[in-house]
Amino acid sequence: MKDCITWVGLDDSAKKINGAAFFGNELIAQRQFVVENNDSGLGRLVKAMKSFPGEVRCVYEAGINGYFLQRYLQRHGIKCEIAAPSLTPRKSGKRVKTDRLDAKDLARYYRSGDLTMITIPEQKQEDLRDLMRAREDALEDLQRSRHRLHRFLARRGIKFIGSKPWTGQHLQWIKRIHFDDPQCEMVLDEYRNALVEKMERLKRFDEAILLLAKSPEYQPGVDCLMALKGIKELTAMTIIAEAIDLRRFPDAPGFMAAIGLVPSERSSGEKEIRGSITRTGNSHLRRVLIESAWHYQHRSVPGKSLQKRRTGIRPEVVEIARKADNRLCKKYWRLIGKGKSKQTAAVAVARELAGFIWAIGQVR
């Protein structure tokens, strides 16, 4: 038994961790255990695993505990990997699901090689990702505050007559609104205060991220990505934070698939049926790429600001960016000419934009 591998599946939750261990190729789990998800429980978990014969390899699905459990086990000399839950095999006829059964299934799938493992970032990379996602949360909170204030005013027949909402002119107009009723005036003041608070919060995040983007660690990558149209500091930092390392993807289609921009497909025999994009993988990357793709509806000639961003960048990167200018603009309008909607065209452009981003990642 010393030369065998012990395969351990862990089903973790906020309070408990269920485990199942298979020794070698045995069909029945030789050990099943439950520990509390706290310091003492994790200590007992490590002690139990070190008592198993041979090399111990364990796995759990990405979830509420993030990378903490994996890093804890690695520090104690136990190999641990994290599986992508959306790609874990599921039996369609299975009607009984418990944490104990899930732990055993994970161990079996791990042993047979049927699990897809996620890339585990370093602590510093995870800290950057948390910063970027916190900024997204702040942006969502700001949008909610805007909608609440807008709907409150709309219910009272007060509408802004201007060019664009939420500009400086619009905000000045909101400040001048008053109600005779004290209750309505209180509601308006609270909505306005909440709006100002969310704007200041987002501004603090933006300032911190922009400062970080100019640091020696991130500036070279940010500058290369900003050679592409529609990508500035915030988008570039999101790509760096979420992609971890573009060189880990073997090819451009692999990167496109990882962010859910490839078409879904249900083909059988001679029938070939393709649908909308899969929307699997990293939704944060998918969102910023689709936002950037809208810029390619404009002419492919770069403006002054884009030319300035490309100054001093490696010639290989600039050449990739120029190819993107021509190809993606033509693709957008070709799809529009075929009767596709603007949204469909933008998503198709985002898919190919991901390929150009991958290509730049190989140059750096």
For residue range 205-215, what is the model confidence (pLDDT) as tens digits? 999 999 999 99
pLDDT (0 to 100) of residue 3: 66
Query: Is 349:289 a contact under the CB 8 Å cutoff?
Result: no
The answer, yes or no, to whether residue 91 has pLDDT greater than 70, is yes
How many Cα atoms occupy the beta-carbon half-sphere of 248 within 13 Å?
10
**Per-residue pLDDT tens for 49-90?**
999 999 999 999 999 889 999 999 999 999 999 999 988 998
Q: 5-112: what fold?
A: Nucleotidyltransferase; domain 5 (3.30.420)
The pLDDT score that the predictor gives to residue 364 is: 62
pLDDT given for residue 86 in this prediction: 85
CB neighbourhood size of 1 (10 A): 9
- For the chain, give the mean pLDDT: 94
Q: What is the pLDDT of residue 10?
A: 97
Angle at 222 between CA 217 and CA 224, to 5 degrees: 115
Condensed to tens digits (0 to 9), the pLDDT of residues 251-286 reads 999 999 999 999 988 877 777 778 889 998 899 999
Per-residue pLDDT at 339: 96
Name the one residue in this structure whose structure tokens are 């529009």.
336
Q: Using one digit for the tens of pLDDT, what is the confidence trace for 74-83?
A: 999 999 999 9
- Confidence at residue 274, expressed as pLDDT on a 0 to 100 scale: 80
Task: Tell me which residue of 227, 299, 298, 289 sits closest to 262, measured CA to CA.
Answer: 289
Looking at residue 2, its pLDDT comes to 56
Residue 252 near residue 359, CB atoms below 8 Å: yes
pLDDT (mean) for 117-124: 93
Of 89-93, 117-121, 284-288, the one with minimum mean pLDDT is 89-93
Give me 218's structure tokens. 């991130």
pLDDT at 6 over 90: yes
Q: Which two tokens stand for residue 77?
A: 């000399």
The per-residue pLDDT for 87 is 87
Sheet-wide strand order for 79-83: 31-36, 16-23, 5-12, 55-61, 79-83
pLDDT at residue 94 in the model? 83
**pLDDT tens digits for range 133-152:** 999 999 999 999 999 999 99
What tens digit of pLDDT does each residue of 160-189 get?
988 889 999 999 999 999 999 999 999 999
β-sheet bridge partners, residue 312: none
pLDDT digits (tens, 9 = 90+) for 277-303: 999 889 999 999 999 999 999 988 899
- HEC string of the chain equals CCCCEEEEEEEECCCEEEEEEEECCCCCCCEEEEEECCHHHHHHHHHHHHCCCCEEEEEEECCCCCCHHHHHHHHCCCEEEEECHHHCCCCCCCCCCCHHHHHHHHHHHHHHCCCCECCCCCHHHHHHHHHHHHHHHHHHHHHHHHHHHHHHHHCCCCCCCCCCCCCHHHHHHHHCCCCCCHHHHHHHHHHHHHHHHHHHHHHHHHHHHHHHHCCCCCHHHHHHHCCCCCCCHHHHHHHHHHHCCHHHCCCHHHHHHHCCCCEEECCECCECCEEEECCCCCHHHHHHHHHHHHHHHCCCCCCHHHHHHHCCCCHHHHHHHHHHHHHHHHHHHHHHHCCCCHHHHHHHHHHHHHHHHHHHHHHC
Task: Look at the chain and count its residues.
Answer: 364
Instruction: Give the span between the Cα atoms of 9 and 110, in whole angstroms.
Output: 8
Q: What is the pTM of this model?
A: 0.90
